[in-house]
Each structure stands twice: as structure tokens, then as C-alpha cells.
Chains A and B, each alone.
Chain A
Amino acid sequence: MCATCGCDSEAKISIHRIDQPTSLNLGDITFTPVEPKTTTLPNGRKQIDLEQDILLKNNLRAERNRGYFLAKNIVALNLVSSPGSGKTSLLEKTLHDLKTEESFFVIEGDQQTSNDADRIAATQVPVVQINTGKGCHLDSKMIWDAIQQLRPSENSILFIENIGNLVCPAMFDLGEQKRVVIISVTEGDDKPLKYPDMFQSSQLCIINKIDLLPYVKFDVEKAKNYARRINPTIQFIELSCTSGEGFDHWYDWLKKETIEVPVPV
């Protein structure tokens, strides 16, 4: 279906909390836009000049999520990468190291299985699994449904691990505060040029698996320059989930996000 991943969404989407489920029923968004111009044509036909963004609903639901997070002072971070770049490994180590200092919640997106959510649940952090079936990205409605089960507490950090895919998730705002794109040094250093939308819409780029740098042909500076060409303000952190190198920078960045109290505009 999708040119990139061949997915389709005929399969069922399931969302469930890994430990004890709780449910809040908050209903879906209702929205009445400005009435579009309507012209009556012969034979009772009608022309409607809608001029409406196709992703309007997703964007509105995302803004509602964002408002919910702002009100509860929750830092919501959307982690995106190619399959296997290290999203879950980054979360596991972060939760392990910081869970006594900060309160964390996790939403895990995967097409199939709850393997990643089980890895998170092992750290004792509350986690909801979203299985998208063949769908290749999370959307803001799934996040809304997931937070009704997860009920993240005030002043917490909510990590959302998106589906491993650098194309489709770029188009779908989830209501996150920051988008974090992860690339690993076992991928090509031209990733930013191949997936410009994702690098343009992210605020932080984590370069993972730097323990493997001696063995691979990955030019860190080149990758950064490509990313800056697309997004001049993007920040970088180089780290290794295996050796722990660079995690101090990541933790500093995270702490800064939680201190900078967001002010609604």
C-alpha cells in the first residue's frame, strides 16, 4: 500500500496496557470548521469548496494531546528511527538509570508483538503497547487512546517509540513536545538526505552505536552536515547504548526539557 513499506491497514489495531489495564472514556474530538462555500448545481448537485488540509483531524487531535501534556506538565517525546537503530535500547538504559529520579511512562508502537513493551515492562515503568498491524506509523488518535489507558502523571516524561520507519511517521504529528530521530553508525551517513522530512521535523538527532565506529565507514561530521543542510537548528548527541558513552549528554538534554516549563502560546 505504502510505497515505502508496502503496508496496509486492513489488519486490526490493538492498544493495551501491559500491566493492569485502566480505562478513561474521554470521547473523540468534535470540530466544526468555518462553513465552506457551497454552490447548488443543476440536478440538485452541490459543489463544496472545502480547502481543507487532508490531515486536519490528525493535526487537531495532536494539538489536543499537546494541550493535555502541557496542562499536566508532561514532556512527551516522539522517538523515530529506521528499524533497529536502537530506540528500545536507548529507553531501557535511560529508564534503568533515571527511574528513581524522574517519573516515566512509555507508549510502544510496533506492527506486531509486544516484545519491546515487555522489555520496557521489565524496568517496572508503566507501558502501553500499540500494535498497528500493517500500519507503518502511529497517529494522534492512537496516542489519545493509549494515554487513556496509561494515564501518565503530572510532571512526568512520556516516551513514545514510533514504528521503525523514517518516512511515514514524519507526516503524523502526535502532539509531542520534541521529536527525536535516531540513526546508528551501521546505517549510511547520507540518511538525512534520503529522509529529509524526518530530519526537518526533528529537534534532536541521536547518533547511536558509536562503539562500532572503528569498524564501519560512517563519517559523523558528514552525517551532521547533511542533517544541518535540511534543518540548521537540529541538535546532535552521539552515544552508545552498549558502552554507555555519551549518555551524560542525553541525560543533560532530558533534564533541560523537564526544567524548561512550557508556556502555551
Chain B
Amino acid sequence: MHELSIVMSIVETAEEKVKEHHASSVESIDLVIGDLAGVDSQALDFAWDSAVKNTVLQKAIRNVIQVPARAKCLECDCEFGIKEIYDSCPLCGEPLLLIIQGKELQIKSMILN
């Protein structure tokens, strides 16, 4: 249930922010999730519904900004989109890639009321 752990971490942070700003609840929250972050969106939906009950996030609108994965080839330096960590460079065929985008797992912002 890492998806549940993830939602619980988000709840923990949201509760802290609401308290800190003397707000009452979260109106909306924007998350950034990379395609290679290891989060299953269906599992996240499911975990969300059960984990936000009776918390400041219960009524929050959740926006997920999904980030496609990109890598840079360590051999030829070109950049391209990838589907899996182990994809090879489409230009030179080398499997040595530096992942430059797609591992994000972030709370971007929230609106409190």
C-alpha cells in the first residue's frame, strides 16, 4: 500500500498546513506525479477515498499533473521520451540513461479555506 502511505503523508502535510494557517479545510490540492514515480493512479484513487475521510482533505478537489518520463542518453547526449526505466536510446541503442523527468512525486500547491 505504498499508495495508501502516500495519501497518508499528504494528509499529514495538509493537516499541518491547515493548522499553521488557522484555516478550516483544504479546498483544492495539486499533485505532480511522474509516470515513473511508481504510483498506480487507480490505487491512488482508491486509497484517497478511504484515507481522506474525516480529515481536512475530505472535500478537497484533487488535481493530478501527470509528468511524462524523459531521459538523456549517457553515450550520445540526446534526450527523448521513455516508457520504462530500461528503455534504450532510440538513436544509438545504448541502455545507459539518465532519467531527467518522470520520477516526480510532489505536492505542488493547495488552497485553504
Contact = CB atoms under 8 A, between A and B. Distances in A.
Nearest to B3: A2
B6 A54 contact: yes
A112 to B, nearest CB: 15
Contacts of A244: none
Contact of B50 (A3, A8, A50, A56): A8
Contacts of A168: 1-2, 5
B77 interface: no
A57 B86 contact: no
Interface string A50-61: 111111111000
Given A48-B112, A197-B85, A136 B105 contact: no
Contacts of A8: 1, 4, 47, 50
A200 B111 contact: no
Interface in A5-56: 5, 7-9, 38, 41, 43-56
Interface residues of A, number: 44
A3 B6 CA distance: 13
A43 B108 contact: no
Contacts of B47: 1-2, 8
B72 to A, nearest CB: 15
Given A2-B43, A55-B6, A55-B105, A50 B95 contact: no
A136 B85 contact: no
A3 B110 contact: no
A48 B113 CA distance: 11
Size band of the interface chain B makes with A: 35 or more
Contact of B10 (A44, A54, A136, A196): A54
Given A50-B17, A196-B86, A139 B5 contact: yes
A193 B110 CA distance: 36
B9 interface: yes
A74 interface: no
Interface string A128-172: 000000111101000000000000000000000000000110111
8 tightest Cβ-Cβ pairs between the two chains A and B: A3-B40, A2-B1, A3-B43, A168-B2, A196-B85, A1-B1, A7-B1, A45-B113
Interface of A: 1-5, 7-9, 38, 41, 43-58, 134-137, 139, 167-168, 170-172, 193, 196-197, 200, 226, 229-230, 232
23 contacts: A1-B3, A1-B4, A1-B46, A2-B3, A2-B40, A2-B47, A3-B43, A5-B1, A9-B4, A9-B8, A45-B112, A48-B21, A50-B17, A50-B108, A51-B107, A52-B13, A52-B107, A56-B13, A135-B5, A137-B5, A139-B5, A172-B2, A200-B85
Interface of B: 1-6, 8-10, 12-13, 17, 21, 23, 27, 31, 38, 40, 42-43, 46-47, 50, 84-86, 95-96, 105-113
